[in-house]
Amino acid sequence: MPLAGQIASLYASLIHDARYAVRALSKTPAFTATALAALAVGIGANTAIFSVVNTVLLKPLTYPDPGRIVLFLVSTPAGPSYGASATKFNVLRRRTQAFEDVCAYEYQGAGLNLTGGAYPEQIHGIRVTAGYFRLLGAPVAQGRTFTAEDDRPHGGHVLVLGYGLWQRRFGGDPHMAGKTISLSGAPYTVVGVLGPGFNTELDSPPDVWLPFQIDPGSDDHAQYFNVLGRLKRGVTPGTANAQLELASDEFRRKYPNIMGPRDRFSIEPFGDSLVSDVRPSLLVLAGAVTFVLLIACANVANLLLVRATGRKREIAMRAALGAGQWRIIRQLLTESLVLSIAGGALGLGLGAAGVRALLAANPGDIPRIGEHGAAVAMDWRVLAFTVFVSLGTGILFGLIPALGVSRADLSATLKEGGGRAGTGLRQNRTRALLVVSEMALALVLLVGAALLIRTFVALRGVDPGFDADVGGGLALREDVRSESAFARRARARGSAAGSGAGGRRLQSADRRPLRHSVQHRGACAWKQPLRRARLDVRLTRVFRHLQDSGSARAGFQRTRQCRSDARGHRQPGPGAEILGGLSGGT
């Protein structure tokens, strides 16, 4: 028979087997519903977790040639220290031998009040240096991005609008570039509008970008932004790290008390730095749901074994009429595959709905998923994964029963009564093995869950070093090199300021208790630099209010300084910081 005829015959035979499988499964609705429920839960859980893994770990960055984009950090004996200061940036941006571009950007930014028009609106803005848009290949829909003149100190009030804000607030005005808008009471000139699809990979996408205007002669060591670089073509990370050794030596000579003798500048791929914190957790979670799928497979295989032993006489009769062993195995496997494909379809819908609802309720501080998990989508990778898992599970749980039944002794099966069906030693051993496997996998999951709960309880019981139930938090960073005029005034106020609070940056004064604030980790962080004069005025008002109202029991205490990771989250580190709990309203 020609090859085309063989393919057509095989296709017709498979269609016949599938129709027979559907009829056979419809005759046992209880078995079918139970098996579909187990498969839907197992495949759905794997689909949900893989959709997150796909978005966070597998999808490449949307920038041109993302493999050459790196993040600068400081390697220390205690581990990497993310974040950069003005002094570090000024040293790094002179390293042009290995990098095409070096830029800085704020990872937190600030809320800005957009006034004018029909209504005021609070928007999110971050500051970036002139090379930011060029390095990341940002599309420009109108106007231009920042120039070196814009990025100089006192270079003027200019900004770049995001595409979403341009469409939402300004109706896609085709002549937006060159117009002036009001941000927090100050006029800013719009020099350009970004095109759609630009992804900053930040937890909160900005609506506007402002020039950083970092002073080349700055001696500010506060770390509140990140520095990115784009490697020149042909330059490897190893070569770039070797050249950064010279930058480390230069920085230590200029600022001998800031970096330790074994600290050094280094780089790592930008994509890896974004997900380094969550990669192990996601992989562990993926392993856990794989165990859930294996348990579901063992359950369904056990059900199929019971069902197959009840059909031994039917299968033996088909064999007596001329059906070969492979033909019987193929028919039973077809039934298993029909069951698994139906369970996969249900699992795909269950996984999509479940992960969307879970991330909308609590994103869990996972990077790259967008606001409330909006970036998690069922793309071709997720669909291919679901199809692969469905077919794999169908073969896995269907092959054991099919092989067991097809190898049964034909003469003995036809002679034995229906009541003795399924009492063979081989079937009992197989079912016992499946039960033992289920119990072992379930025990692993149970122990893992117990350890996670124990870890969570232990973390909740860790003493943060301050009273988390006070009325709010005020974080100040101590300048150990010099004492500002504000610090001297604060010390002169005595009880209102406590011990010498030589602060230079204000993060927040929140009326809510820190323990009940989702973002309480920021209590040891400062999000944006403030001019010293504005800060002095704000903090002087705070202390005057505390002193005048008698709420002088703030009790400032000294805690450890915070280092930030690649996404701006603070990690404990050496140094000094002043932390105060405000017991009165502000």
Cα–Cα distances (Å) from 265 to 80, 131, 259, in that order, read 10, 20, 10
Distance CA 332, CA 398 (A): 7
Which of 36, 103, 96 is closest to 63 using CA atoms? 103
Same domain, 106 and 40: no
Pair of tokens at residue 32: 């079918």
- Beta-carbon contacts of 345 under 8 Å, excluding residues fewer than 6 positions away, are 390
Confidence (pLDDT) at 201: 86
Residue 115 amino acid letter: T
Confidence (pLDDT) at 17: 85
Pair of tokens at residue 504: 């230079």
Confidence (pLDDT) at 574: 40
Prediction pTM value? 0.69
Confidence (pLDDT) at 424: 54
Same domain, 164 and 119: yes
Give the domain-ending residue among 433, 460, 487. 460
Same domain, 200 and 286: no
Residue 266 lies in a domain: no
Domain with 101, as residue range(s), is 78-261
Residue 200 lies in a domain: yes
Pairing between β-strand 180-183 and β-strand 158-161 as defined by DSSP bridges = unpaired
Residue 400 lies in a domain: yes
Of all helices (H) and strands (E), which one includes residue 73?
strand 69-76
- Beta-carbon contacts of 531 under 8 Å, excluding residues fewer than 6 positions away, are none
Same domain, 321 and 247: no
Q: How many domains does the chain have?
A: 3
User: Per-residue confidence of the chain (586 residues) as pLDDT tens digits?
Assistant: 677 777 887 778 888 888 988 998 898 899 999 999 999 999 999 999 999 999 999 999 989 999 999 999 999 998 888 899 999 999 998 877 899 999 999 988 888 999 887 789 999 999 999 999 999 999 999 999 999 999 999 888 999 999 999 999 999 999 999 999 999 989 999 999 999 989 888 878 899 999 999 999 999 999 999 999 999 999 999 999 998 998 999 999 999 888 988 999 999 999 999 998 889 888 888 888 888 888 888 888 888 877 877 677 677 777 666 667 777 788 888 888 999 999 999 999 999 888 888 787 777 678 888 877 888 888 889 999 999 999 988 888 887 777 766 665 555 555 555 444 444 555 567 667 777 777 887 788 788 778 877 876 776 677 766 665 554 444 443 333 333 444 444 444 443 333 333 333 333 333 333 333 333 223 333 333 333 333 444 444 444 444 444 443 333 333 334 445 555 554 444 433 333 333 333 3
Same domain, 253 and 111: yes
Same domain, 325 and 347: yes
In 10 A of CB 58, how many CB atoms?
10
Pair of tokens at residue 58: 């597998």
Residue 429 lies in a domain: yes
Confidence (pLDDT) at 431: 67
Backbone angles phi, psi at 330, to 5 degrees: -65, -40
Residue 71 lies in a domain: no
Give the domain-ending residue among 460, 494, 528. 460
Backbone angles phi, psi at 60, to 5 degrees: -75, 160
Confidence (pLDDT) at 493: 43
Same domain, 477 and 456: no
Residue 382 amino acid letter: V
The greatest distance separating any two alpha carbons of the chain, rounded to the nearest whole angstrom, comes to 104
Confidence (pLDDT) at 568: 54
Residue matched to tokens 């030596």: 249
Query: Long-range CB contacts (< 8 A, 24+ apart) of 534-537?
Result: 535/486, 535/503, 535/504, 535/505, 535/506, 536/484, 536/485, 536/486, 536/489
Contact 83, 283 (CB under 8 A): no
Same domain, 300 and 436: yes
What is the DSSP code (8-state) at residue 373?
A: G
Residue 223 lies in a domain: yes
H helical segments located in 378-484: 380-406, 410-415, 425-460
Confidence (pLDDT) at 565: 54
Same domain, 479 and 507: yes
- Beta-carbon contacts of 32 under 8 Å, excluding residues fewer than 6 positions away, are 25, 26, 339
CA-CA-CA-CA torsion for 545, 526, 163, 230, nearest 10 degrees?
160
Same domain, 478 and 424: no
Distance CA 482, CA 480 (A): 6
